[in-house]
Amino acid sequence: FPFGRRLPCDIYWHGVSFHDNNIFSGQVNKFPGMMETVRKITLSRAMRTMQDLFPLEYNFYPRSWILPEELPLFVAEVRVMKDSDPSWKPTFIVKPDGGCQGDGIYLIKDPSDIRLTGSIQSRPAVVQEYICKPLLVDKLKFDIRLYVLLKSLEPLEIYIAKDGLSRFCTEPYQEPTLKNLHQVFMHLTNYSLNIHSENFIHSDSVNTGSKRTFSSILCRLSSRGADVKKLWSDIISLVIKTIIALTPELKVYYQSDIPSGKPGPTCFQILGFDILLMKNLKPMLLEVNANPSMRIEHEQELSPGVFENVPSPVDEEVKVAVIRDTLRLVDPQKKKRKDAQCFVTRTAVTRWHGWHEYHEQAAPVEGGVEGDELWSLPSPPSVILCRRCPRLEHTAESSESLLDALPAERPEPDAPRSPEAGLPSLCLKQVFPKYAKQFSYLRLVDRVAALFIRFLGVKGTTKLGPTGFRTFIRNCKLSNSNFSMAAVDILYIDITRRWNSMGIDHKESGMCLQAFVEAFFCLAQKKYKSLPLHEQVLSLIEFCECHLAALDEKRLLWGWG
């Protein structure tokens, strides 16, 4: 809209990020703050928090340190690990924050090899354990780009595309040695790098060449006897757990850009997950991309220096389906049709089974959206009347295992005369809330973020002031003779100063969410000394929520609003 928009739209499709504060309705294809949340440093921090709470569940992200601030920690930890196991000969990968397409990445064998030039100060980075034993196909290292649709943040709705891309290196892989550390075509799978290799193979077939479909790799693995079902199940877990790690930060941005009083818009976003398979088929997360390339062409050099864009069937097969199905899922017309269908279904069931009888016995699904038909029926018939609210689907299907979420998918039961009848079955598979039950215990930081947001006070902010922090302590009854309000102030100042000195965001002063999470963990450890960390945190969350609920009730009684 080069000359501005006149009419509101149903769907807004931004190129890069959420940036338009003049939208009050419809759906936008970006979440506020997503770019910031998935940057290498922020992602590593969020994963570290989850690894501290749930080390086993989050072992799919390589151990990472943030440079320059954690350089001494990195050096010290590596020394301790080497001392305890002299046979450990690690390799590390240094990745500049905010970099992409392999830009500025290098491998090292020892912490002392970090290039401590001026750039590390001006350009922070993540240093990460290098996965030395990746799965090879045709002797080549490759990674997987999977497309994930975050359809809604509250309630959380996640879809995964049934197919993705596999991007291949162009030199046969060897485990890292001092001699081959610099060979990017051997160690880095980025398409943008390997395309410049003379070994790069453009192929019109989806199962040969330097870029293939993920399904073609799965076929190959399956024919070699690999447990492909288990692999899919692990990938789904990885995606859900990663998004669970990101949602607290996203919610802080969301309430700042789209406060709860504002009518809209709602957001959705296609994310690119970069995953590496280890030799033993364990998927490891490399990074999350907020702006995955949706190009369906590639550049071909016709003669030296002369390039032409030619169609890329592999990209087309995967990406067109992702965009088409994202639009199908967020289609505002579909919602209207579903509402109408829901009315018809209810009428029919009422007529056939005696709706009122069931209605009497049915229980509302916890946490459902007000105004929706949130009634699950006791058997018979054990069906859900209205599939509009995803939480209902969860109650209906949560007993299914993750293994059901496989590429071989049953077609969506669309109404015969639906405009979608002529389209292929959906390539996007819902995994959350479908499997919510198995993962909900991990959503602790979400609850900490809810406390943080409650005390933020002024609309539009993302940082907590000292008064907000004091109010949080007072309302949750956390101060006592052992923990005075003066100590509260010192805790606030110490943690906030340290986080602000890391220089992430100077726009606002105050305590950011990660700093609040650190303070919260500190309080939890103080109060519940002997428990493991996740139980300490859970106990403190419950303690706070309980006091706040009592306070809300009191306010309601006294009409304080």
Residues that bind ligand ADP (CB under 6 A): 62, 93, 95, 99-103, 105, 128, 130-131, 143, 188-190, 274, 276, 286-287
Q: Which residue number, 137 or 423, has a Cβ lying nearer to ligand ADP? A: 137
C-alpha–C-alpha distance, residues 323 and 11, integer Å: 13
Q: Which residue number, 188 or 427, has a Cβ lying nearer to ligand ADP? A: 188
SS3 content of the chain, % helix, strand, coil (to 5): 40, 15, 40
CB of residue 166 to ligand ADP, shortest distance in Å: 11
CB of residue 62 to ligand ADP, shortest distance in Å: 4
537: helix, strand or coil: helix
Measured CA angle at 432 (ends 24, 148), to 5 deg:
70
CB of residue 100 to ligand ADP, shortest distance in Å: 4
C-alpha–C-alpha distance, residues 128 and 44, integer Å: 9
Residue with tokens 């509260």: 488
CB contact set of 143 (below 8 Å; sequence gap of 6+)? 166, 167, 189, 274, 275, 276, 286
Nearest to 345 by CA among 256, 438, 413, 285: 413
C-alpha separations of 265 from 30, 78, 151, 251, 382 in Å:
11, 47, 13, 14, 35
Q: Which residue number, 102 or 155, has a Cβ lying nearer to ligand ADP? A: 102
CB of residue 93 to ligand ADP, shortest distance in Å: 5
Q: Which two tokens stand for residue 134?
A: 């990746």
DSSP label at residue 440: G
Q: Which residue number, 21 or 119, has a Cβ lying nearer to ligand ADP? A: 119
DSSP label at residue 539: H
**Radius of gyration for the chain, computed over Cα atoms and rounded to the nearest angstrom:** 25
CB of residue 61 to ligand ADP, shortest distance in Å: 9
537 contacts 522 by C-beta, under 8 angstroms: no
276 contacts 168 by C-beta, under 8 angstroms: no
**The dihedral formed by the CA atoms of 388, 147, 444 and 372, expressed in degrees to the nearest 10:** -10
Q: What one-character-per-residue DSSP string does 338-395 give?
A: HHHHHHHHHHHHIIIIIHHHHHHH-EEPTTPPTTS--EEPPSSS--BS--SSHHHHHH
CB of residue 113 to ligand ADP, shortest distance in Å: 16
CB of residue 220 to ligand ADP, shortest distance in Å: 19
Q: Which residue number, 25 or 192, has a Cβ lying nearer to ligand ADP? A: 192
C-alpha separations of 324 from 34, 284, 297, 385, 427 in Å:
22, 28, 17, 27, 9
Q: Helix H segments across 211-312?
A: 214-223, 228-257
Nearest to 145 by CA among 209, 235, 35, 41: 235
DSSP label at residue 293: -
Q: Which residue number, 42 or 462, has a Cβ lying nearer to ligand ADP? A: 42
**380: preceding bond cis by omega (within 30 degrees):** yes
